[in-house]
Amino acid sequence: MERRLFTEDHDAYREIVREFVVREVAPKLERWDRERLIDRATWESAGKQGLIGLGVPEEYGGGGQPDYRYQVVVMEEFARVGAASLISSFSLQDDIVVPYVKDLGTEEQKRRWLPGMASGQLIGAIAMTEPGAGSDLQGVRTTARRDGGDWVIDGQKTFITSGVNADLVIVVARTDPAAGSRGFSLIVVETGTPGFTRGRKLDKVGLHAQDTAELFFDNVRVPVSNLLGTEGRGFTHLMERLPLERLSIATSALAGAEAVFAGTRRYCFERKAFGRSIGDFQHTRFQLAEMATELDVTRAYHDAAVFALNEGTLSAVDAAKAKWWATETQKRVVDRCVQLHGGYGYMIEYPVARAFVDSRIQTIYGGTTEIMKEIIGRDLARAEAGRP
């Protein structure tokens, strides 16, 4: 029934990733959580091993490999040890920031930023969300005005992933307040620029090792050459790249859910209660059967979406379907796995407990489940309106 997602080349790459996880990830998870930060040495080590920058063309120091299945391998292997924060941080770099620079950047911009991003020496972020705006990009108030050869940026952003570590931030700003959706532009602000400051490292429910911050822009001057893409087409640029971002979140959700389910299944047949393993009780078997089925069905849709992405045919609507379904499935699966662990499921030392707090954000960021359903619903309404 299944169409195998991976080839022998992907399997060989998986061994490289798995060795990296044993050496560089698993031993550091607790320290990262305590420090609320992933050390930069790990980023650079990942760059040397080819775990980031895969999609960066070889001429800019990257792997020159556009096949998204390699990214899936990385997320699956990180998920096996519960490294959700690392998944989020690395996928932001590779699935969001790098494509913006690669696809929209000038030759000078690409040569300035892509080599460092491929090596892990430059960490990127994208600043969209603002206090009070949330998923409503039309509500962005941060402004950028031309002043001679500079853009002058004023405003505030929040919930910015990699906001503490970031060396460069792609800022969504209004460059023409009177132009509506045609008045947004993307402008890169680099660390150390006067007037650019970072606020609190936000204390989140989960994903503790992933640095998330408030960013402030007070009369920040950057050269006109830091405009990314076309002035006034920022909103379009965002919409064009959201399918990859949302598939990335779907991938991390599925990988995380499958990892937690695998651990829970083993636990159920090792844990004894009333003289037998809890997996021998019908209710437990039914729970496991339901989760296995949901994950298999989700995997089928996800893998089809990955093939579509590689072929350049993944639509925004199909990506929205993958995002909301996979993340809601993850939420349901993890919650039931906690229940099957009993009291141990509430102990943070158990992977299922960490997964419980780490996974809760998945249905929120990258566009909430409600926003995903609205995208799908609008498409259905348009199709119905166009029927003869």
Calculate what percentage of the chain has a pLDDT beyond 70: 97
State the residue for tokens 């995903």: 372
Do 250 and 352 share a structural domain? Answer: yes
Owning domain of residue 74: 8-122
Q: Which residue, 60, 90, 122, sits at the end of a domain?
A: 122
Do 366 and 294 share a structural domain? Answer: yes
Distance CA 323, CA 67 (A): 20
Do 246 and 373 share a structural domain? Answer: yes
Query: Is residue 2 pLDDT above 70, yes or no?
Result: no
Do 129 and 108 share a structural domain? Answer: no
* Pairing of the two strands 196-201 and 276-277: unpaired
pLDDT given for residue 275 in this prediction: 83
Tokens of 5: 């997602």
Distance CA 171, CA 183 (A): 14
Query: Is residue 295 pLDDT above 90, yes or no?
Result: yes
Domains contained in the chain, number:
3
CB 191 within 8 A of CB 121: no
Q: Which residue, 206, 232, 258, sits at the end of a domain?
A: 232
Calculate what percentage of the chain has a pLDDT beyond 90: 87
Task: Give the chain's length.
Answer: 388
Distance CA 162, CA 92 (A): 8
Neighbouring residues of 80: CB distance < 8 A, sequence distance ≥ 6: 21, 259
Average pLDDT over residues 286-306: 97
Q: Which helix (H) or strand (E) holds 383?
A: helix 369-385
| Distance separating the N- and C-terminal Cα atoms of the chain | 36
Query: Is residue 103 pLDDT above 90, yes or no?
Result: yes
Tokens of 109: 């911009």
pTM to 2 decimal places? 0.93
Q: Is residue 321 part of a domain?
A: yes
Do 381 and 246 share a structural domain? Answer: yes
pLDDT given for residue 217 in this prediction: 97
Neighbouring residues of 73: CB distance < 8 A, sequence distance ≥ 6: 6, 10, 13, 14, 17
Q: Is the dihedral of CA 23, 70, 366, 376 positive or negative?
A: negative
Active site residues: 245
What are the C-alpha distances in Å from 177 to residues 139, 180, 185, 237, 260? 11, 7, 11, 18, 47
Do 376 and 311 share a structural domain? Answer: yes
**Residue 385 φ then ψ, to 5°:** -65, -25
pLDDT given for residue 252 in this prediction: 98
Do 327 and 297 share a structural domain? Answer: yes
Mutual angle of helices 69-80 and 84-92, in 10-degree steps:
160
Distance CA 216, CA 141 (A): 12
Identify the CATH number of the domain in which residue 135 sits: 2.40.110.10
Query: Is residue 208 pLDDT above 50, yes or no?
Result: yes
Do 331 and 209 share a structural domain? Answer: no
The string of pLDDT tens digits covering residues 308-344 is: 999 999 999 999 999 999 999 999 999 999 999 999 9
pLDDT given for residue 1 in this prediction: 46
Neighbouring residues of 235: CB distance < 8 A, sequence distance ≥ 6: 137, 181, 182, 184
Beta strands in 148-258 (DSSP E): 150-161, 168-174, 184-190, 196-201, 212-223, 227-228
pLDDT given for residue 37 in this prediction: 92
Query: Is residue 218 pLDDT above 80, yes or no?
Result: yes
Identify the CATH number of the domain in which residue 269 sits: 1.20.140.10
Q: Which residue, 105, 122, 139, sits at the end of a domain?
A: 122
pLDDT given for residue 156 in this prediction: 95
SS3 (DSSP) at 144: strand
Neighbouring residues of 127: CB distance < 8 A, sequence distance ≥ 6: 142, 157, 160, 163, 169, 170, 171, 172, 215
The string of pLDDT tens digits covering residues 118-171 is: 999 999 999 998 887 666 667 789 999 999 999 999 999 999 999 999 999 999
Query: Is residue 3 pLDDT above 60, yes or no?
Result: no
Average pLDDT over residues 212-216: 95
Helix-then-strand count for the chain, H and E = 12, 10
Q: Is residue 2 part of a domain?
A: no
